[in-house]
Amino acid sequence: MRSIYNGHHGAHAASKEFFRGRLVDAFEVPARADYVLKALQASGLGEILPPVDHGRAPLERVHAPAYLRFIEGAYAEWLATGGEGEAFPAVWPVRSLRSDVEPKSFAARMGLYSMDSGSPLTAGTWEAAYWGAQATLTGLNLLLKDAERSAYVLTRPPGHHAGADFFGGYCFINNAAVAAQAARDAGVERVAILDVDYHHGNGTQAIFYERADVFYASIHGDPQTEFPFFLGHADERGAGAGMGFNANFPLPAGSSNELWFEAFEKALDQLNAYAPGLLIVSLGVDTYGGDPISHFKLDRPEFRRMGQALRSMQLPTLFVQEGGYATEAIGHNVVAVLQGFEDLS
């Protein structure tokens, strides 16, 4: 299995974030990818490649151009307003407030294009996120053009919380969604996205919720108590043409590994019935028992078991890195999934 490494990821290096109302040291830091890279290099899994630039057009197939322009220029604008350090949203257009008019105020547009206060914009946010999408498209091309069976994309910041026109949950560009749309544009008739991150991929779900050509399935912490709170319930099955092509498996915090794998197998059953031509795995390993902001209990044997189960689907598979915040363990856990998929010890 070849990997694509976004060497630009370190340009986005937040020092602080708001976590459930408190200003704390950032959890989403460059060391996350550094530990994975080190584990990959020691694993013998295969060649590690740099991303190829596919331009802006594939991103605009998923994200609103006005939103992308904002993210690209936001930090410079923040500094021009007298801002210092990292920029945080502070006001949002919630119920009864208008969101159809883009305000002139920078603070107002920060709120218009965001969902939380936990995702600071830094000087290098656009660079890191842009090249993350390019790394994902490069990995996709290994499957579509080089006919490889699998590829892994090592990037950060993650992507699955980013919607068509908003950032949040550490996510700015939805890498899995960009890859799914690019695969459809390349002629893949049906694409499946399986999200195994502890947190529901609300952005990915929303982007494809009314479509039948991309099936989204997620196993995650119950949004009654776990971020992103306002999406990810079991009764969200799609809408319009997409009815039946969205499957959520929310589990209570502290669920056993057995319960997690029961939900995982149900998700695989639905994906197999869909018969996709390509599988994209939003690979969050914050389901690890030692993760500081999550509450499942998986460890290396379970991550390897996950990879083995994904291998049994016998599909071209693109793994895209999402969460995982126990930085010293993240590399071992990611490699365990990939080795399980490749049937390597």
Could you give the residue numbers annotated as active site? 161
Q: What is the largest CA-CA distance in the chain?
A: 56
Contact predicate 62/181, CB 8 Å: yes
Q: What is the DSSP string of 149-167?
A: SEEEEE-SS--TT-BTTBB
Tokens of 302: 């379970």
The encoded tokens of residue 153 equal 């994309």
Q: Which two tokens stand for residue 89?
A: 């949203």
Characterize 267-286 residue by residue with b for buried, 16 or more Cβ atoms within 10 angstroms of its Cβ, and e for exposed.
bbebbeebebebbbbbbbbb
Q: Are strands 16-19 and 22-25 parallel, antiparallel or unpaired?
A: antiparallel
Nearest to 334 by CA among 290, 293, 288: 288
Measured between alpha carbons, how far is 171 from 160 in angstroms, rounded to an integer?
7
Using DSSP, state whether 296 is helix, strand or coil: coil
Q: Do residues 319 and 338 lie in contact, with contact meaning Cβ atoms separated by under 8 Å?
A: yes
Which 8-state DSSP code applies to residue 198? Answer: S
* CA 189, 159, 341, 217 torsion-angle sign: negative
